[in-house]
């Protein structure tokens, strides 16, 4: 895949997306990720999550070094460029309280996801958690493959079962969390994003949120 071509077509930098992620990070800090945590992000992109989440230690893995310039604005993030399968084994066992992945696992074949989850369980501390946000096929079947790099289909139900079979216990599963894409009509206003995240009614929702604890 031509990484620069993909970024320009599907994943251009967006100040609006960064603002939205700022509110998502505040929400996650309040409900799931304590500020004294050590956090690793897989597939950090422009750093919209890892750069804005408030935690003690922040490490990010990103395969595309075209994002390096934007990541320089987050000096508190240890940035590693390369494939997760190459880099995860170098991080050591039981290093992180949380591993975070947004719009990530659907880009891999199922056997590659299983291999990465084995490495994730190694780097997580006992009781550490995997936090996933990604498209929910059950809510957006007609849009799921608009991104031609999507390889594996997950709904919130199939991801729950998949994680339970691969060393995790799902503690929280929210079927409707975010719209399918940041290019959708999700408001850019911080207040409106905050209201959306806390509302039980989520129009345009196409992504789920899942929090799973390591059990092996």
Return d(Cα 82, Cα 85) in angstroms, integer: 9
| Mean pLDDT across 190-203 | 92
How much is the pLDDT for 162?
A: 98
Query: The CATH number of the domain where 100 resides is what?
Result: 3.40.50.150
The answer to whether residue 148 scores a pLDDT higher than 90 is: no
Q: How many residues does the chain have?
A: 216
67: containing domain: 3-214
Q: Pick the more confident residue, 130 or 69.
A: 130
* Banded pLDDT at 88 (limits 50, 70, 90): very high
DSSP letters along 66-108, please? GGHHHHTT-TTEEEEES-HHHHGGGS-SS-EEEEEEES-GGGS
Largest CA distance in the chain: 42
How much is the pLDDT for 3?
A: 46
- pLDDT tens-digit map of 151-191: 999 999 999 999 999 999 999 999 999 998 766 555 668 89
Number of structural domains (the chain) is: 1
Q: Given phi > 0 = left and psi -120 to 50 = alpha, else beta, which region is 63?
A: alpha
The answer to whether residue 143 scores a pLDDT higher than 60 is: yes
For tokens 């050590």, the residue is 38
| Mean pLDDT across 60-81 | 87
């Amino acid at each position: 895949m031509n990484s620069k071509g993909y970024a320009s077509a599907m994943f251009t930098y967006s100040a609006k997306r960064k603002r939205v992620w700022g509110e998502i990070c505040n929400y996650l800090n309040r409900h799931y990720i304590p500020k004294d945590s050590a956090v690793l992000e897989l597939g950090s992109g422009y750093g919209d999550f890892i750069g804005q989440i408030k935690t003690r230690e922040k490490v990010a893995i990103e395969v595309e070094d075209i994002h390096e310039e934007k990541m320089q604005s987050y000096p508190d993030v240890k940035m590693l460029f390369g494939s997760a399968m190459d880099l995860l084994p170098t991080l050591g066992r039981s290093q992180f309280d949380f591993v975070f992945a947004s719009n990530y696992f659907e880009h891999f074949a199922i056997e590659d996801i299983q291999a990465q989850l084995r490495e994730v369980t190694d780097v997580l501390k006992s009781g550490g958690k995997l936090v996933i946000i990604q498209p929910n096929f059950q809510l957006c079947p007609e849009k799921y493959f608009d991104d031609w790099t999507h390889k594996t289909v997950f709904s919130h139900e199939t991801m729950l079962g998949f994680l339970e079979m691969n060393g995790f216990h799902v503690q929280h599963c929210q079927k409707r969390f975010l719209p399918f894409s940041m290019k959708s009509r999700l408001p850019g206003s911080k207040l409106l994003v905050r209201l959306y995240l806390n509302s039980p009614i989520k129009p345009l929702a196409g992504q789920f949120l899942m929090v799973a604890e390591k059990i092996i």
